[in-house]
Each structure stands twice: as structure tokens, then as C-alpha cells.
Amino acid sequence: MMLRRHFLRTSALALGAAPLTSLFSKQFNALLAPQITMIRDNVGFYTNRGGSIGLYLPAGKPEGGAVIDTQFPEQATTLLEMLRDQGQLTQLSLLANTHHHGDHTGGNGVFADLAKDYVSHARAQKNLADNLKKNDREGSMPLPKTTFTTDWSMALPDGKERVTMKHFGPAHTGGDAVIHFEQANVAHLGDLLFNRRFPYIDPGAGGDIINWASVMKKIRKHYDRDTVFIFGHAAESYAVTGTSEDLKAFENYLNYLRKYVKKAKKAGTSIEALQAKTTTIPGAPEWRFGERMRNVNLQVMYEAL
């Protein structure tokens, strides 16, 4: 506990005026031991540092698996070593990204050569290419080979599973994909859901904080009550997996945020005054982690309304 508090405090101090993207990658890095957790029917997830990685590991076969998102190079390498120690993973059928952010794609280079197909939403591929260019890192990482705009699907070679990727409209970014293992009925949401923590929002990459709530509703209607969702991030002591109940709760957070900011703006409250007086959003008290992001949420909503 002390260790974590210390970590958070020193991170916040060290960051100073760091750009949001690097704040983002550091803020969500819990000090967790690298761990693979299976959910059901060969589908599981890996947590270390960065956004949760989704996994399909066909029983007893080192080939034909899938990796969804890749955290950072070091964490991706640790995962690859863990899988190889277990005799799993000499070749992948699929590497896919839920969106372009560095804490979900930084390790793409570790898995890209092992994967027969490498897929993202078209806007995520563009966002990734733009980011690499902006940071003078063009060519440092292979880009997704296959892109889609609404739907994409493939059957995995063990004959037991189908992966379907679907875009429900701009939300966290303009290129978000929900990646569903149909048979297991497990869906990776990437950063479409921050479990009980203030979300990062990226309007510069096509994100839309107003549309986000309706995207959550569409997702809730499209999958079912038995679907297990993997979340990109969660507040300390909250899980990175959950159900449609958690989707509904996050949708509520976004709706209450909109209502709250709209009312304040109408009353002539400045963004600075609103940020100064807000600790939680009325109606969504469970969202109380990630203070800096709370201010960003207020500001992006304020500007969008």
C-alpha cells in the first residue's frame, strides 16, 4: 500500500508538464506482477503494465492463438516468454489492437512477426502511424496489415472459435474496436470502459465524449448478459473484467458528466471554477480515481457542449 502511494506521488511529481499521452501511460501503470488469468474456453487476459491484453490460447497447441493489444515492448516480451515457458505460442493466427494508444500497442513489434494476420480499425492504424510520425519513430513498428471500418471476422484454425471485431462509432478514440471471441462469449473493450476510474479521452484522435454514452448503450444491446467483458483499465481494487452491469454504470457516468457540465456551463460557471469545485460527478460517486483525468473529462465535455 505504501509502495503504491509512493509510486503515485512520485509519478505525479516527476511528470510536471508532461504531455497527456505520457501522463496516460504512466498514470495507469499499476505495480502488478505479470499474470495470465484464464476466463473460459481458452480465452484469458494478461495484466502487467498498460492496458489489459486479451489472449486466445488453443488447448495443447503452440499455434493458432490470438493476442489482443500488447502493452509496452518490455511487458509484451515478458508475456511471450511466459507463453513459451508453458509450451504455448510459436505462431499466432491473429494480432489485433482495440485502438492505437501506446499502452495498448507499444509491444506490437514483439508479436507482429509471429502473427498470420495483424488487424485494427482503419482509423486506429492511421492514428498509430500519425503518432509514430509525430514522435520521429516512423518505421520503428510494423503497422496493422489488415484494417476495417465497421466489422471484421475470422475463424481460428482449431475450429472452435471465431473472432469478430466491431466498431460502434467514435468514443474513446475514432478507431475503437470491440473484439469478441464468440464461442467463449468474451469481448475485449479496450479503453471503451474504464472500470470505476475517470477515463482518458482523445478528441485529437477522433474521440467523442458526447457520443461515447450512446456507443456504450449500443455495445450493451449487441452483446448479452452472459458476455464477459475485458476492460483496458480499472481503478485500484476493481477488476479488469466484468459484465453488462459495468457497461451500464460507465454509461451512467458519461451521461451524468454531460448533464453536470451542461448545467454548470449554462449557469455561467467557468471551466476553472468547475474543476476547482468538483470531486465526483453527482450521480456517479464510484468514479473518484484519477484526479487529473477528472479535470480532463470536465474540460473536454465543457468544450464539446
Can you give the binding site for Zn ion, defined by CB under 5 A? 101, 191
CB of 277 to Zn ion, least distance (A): 28
- Amino acid at position 89, single letter: L
Q: Which is nearer to Zn ion, 101 or 197 (CB)?
A: 101
CB of 109 to Zn ion, least distance (A): 19
- Half-sphere exposure (CA, 13 Å, Cβ side) for 213? 12
Q: Which is nearer to Zn ion, 101 or 166 (CB)?
A: 101
CB of 63 to Zn ion, least distance (A): 30
CB of 38 to Zn ion, least distance (A): 24
Cell matching residue 163: 473472432
Contact 207, 194 (CB under 8 A): no
Q: Which is nearer to Zn ion, 51 or 64 (CB)?
A: 51
CB of 27 to Zn ion, least distance (A): 11
Q: Which is nearer to Zn ion, 177 or 264 (CB)?
A: 177
Phi, psi (5° rounding) for residue 168?
A: -105, 10
Nearest alpha-carbon partner for 104 in 151, 56, 181, 47: 47
Cell matching residue 248: 451500464
Contact 179, 98 (CB under 8 A): yes
What gap in Å lies between CA 124 and CA 174, rounded to an integer?
7
Q: Which is nearer to Zn ion, 101 or 167 (CB)?
A: 101
Residue labelled with grid coordinates 474543476: 275
